[in-house]
Amino acid sequence: MSHSTATSTETTRRSYIGWLFGLCGAAVTAILSAPLIRFTLFPLTVKTTETKWSDAGPVADIHGDKPITQTVKVEQVDGWRKNVSEKVVYITKDATGKLSVLSAVCPHLGCSVQWQDAKNAFVCPCHSAQYESNGTKTGGPAPRGMDTLDSKIVNGRLMVRYQYFRQLVPHKEVIG
């Protein structure tokens, strides 16, 4: 009987040690896989921070019936990184005097749209899409008109919030 009791005790110790190693291995695996899971799911759960309002100049300087080309500084903060870039926008004024700000990025393939006085229209040099002075599409393969940007007047200055929009879709969709 002493022999069977010793075997039973060894089996119990071995199984206990096996369970202990298995439990420790599972804990280490869970701890090490948490960053990997977070890294994988991060793009699905986070949005880019909104860009700050950019100064597009004094409202008093905006006159005439043709769009005005203006370069604005765009500041965007992602985590600890601050990204400052310059983007071209077009400022237009309708018949009532209401200001509108258009992105210079073509909604088709992202080329820079340019105002052509001779045609009295915006024209994309990449595929000849054409837009009226208010950004309405008049021809070409672009799926929609030029994208308008949020704007407001603060202390006599035109402020613009620059945004990026998805290309090749018929509706305006903000991506950053």
Name the residue range of residue 78's domain.
Answer: 53-161
- Does residue 115 share a domain with residue 30? no
C-alpha to C-alpha distances, 71 to 68, 105, 108, nearest whole angstrom: 10, 13, 22
Decide if 172 contacts 144 (C-beta within 8 A): yes
| Residue 167 belongs to a domain | no
Q: Which residues contact 155 (CB under 8 A, 6 or more apart)?
A: none
Note the pTM of the prediction, 2 decimals.
0.70
- Does residue 103 share a domain with residue 38? no
| Residue 172 belongs to a domain | no
**Across the chain, what does the average pLDDT equal?**
86
| Residue 17 belongs to a domain | yes
Burial tier of 132 (Cβ tally within 10 Å: 0-12, 13-18, 19+): middle
Residue owning tokens 């603060």? 154
Chain centroid to CA 66: 29
Decide if 50 contacts 149 (C-beta within 8 A): no
In tens, the pLDDT along 42-79 reads 666 655 566 789 999 999 888 878 899 999 998 877 76
Total domains in the chain come to 2
The Cα 87–Cα 77 span in angstroms is: 16
- Does residue 85 share a domain with residue 7? no
| Residue 171 belongs to a domain | no
- Does residue 31 share a domain with residue 6? yes
